Amino acid sequence: MIDDEGRVLTIGYLILEASKVSLVDVDGKTVPATVIGYDRDTGFGIVQALTTLQAEPVALGDSSKLQVGSQLRVVSRETDSVPQEVIVMDRENFAGYWSIYWKMPFLLHQLFQHLRGPG
């Protein structure tokens, strides 16, 4: 969640053709949501919770300032949304199989396989 209004930043291709959208809060409660928008340049989308979402907003950082060796924290559903420490291992252009091109994303390394890859 990126603000107190219940807006959530997500990977855009997940919502592009969705006929129904829902979110799951920190208590495991599913709440209805609607798509606010999708940005083709970044590949990100924003979803709006339609009821109160029990979650604290996460401040967004500036990834352009990250360098190889930088440490940061990421959140993954695979680790029950507990923030995990990661290290930036490389920066290089990346094109995903879903046709999104990221200029200079950061490649992460962590002990858990599901937290490796471009960000």
Q: Cα angle at 47 between 45 and 51, to 5 degrees?
A: 175
- Of 39, 115, 112, nearest to 75 by C-alpha is 115
The pLDDT value recorded for residue 101 is: 52
Domain-wise residue ranges, the chain: 7-49, 63-118
Q: What pLDDT is recorded for position 31?
A: 94
Q: Over 60: is that where the pLDDT of 66 sits?
A: yes
Separation of alpha carbons 10 and 103, rounded Å: 18
Instruction: Please tell me whether the overall predicted TM-score, pTM, comes out greater than 0.75 for this model.
Output: no
Residue 77 backbone phi and psi in degrees, to 5: -60, -30
Q: What is the mean pLDDT of residues 99-118?
A: 52
pLDDT of 115 strictly over 50: no
Average pLDDT of the chain, as a whole number: 78
In this predicted structure, what is the pLDDT of residue 111?
Answer: 47
Residue 4 has pLDDT above 80, yes or no: yes
* Residue 70 near residue 90, CB atoms below 8 Å: no
**For 24-62, what is each residue's pLDDT tens digit?**
887 888 999 999 999 888 888 999 999 988 888 888 778
Distances in whole angstroms, Cα of residue 73 to Cα of each of 60, 79, 94, 100, 115: 11, 12, 21, 24, 11
The DSSP H or E segment spanning 21 is strand 21-24
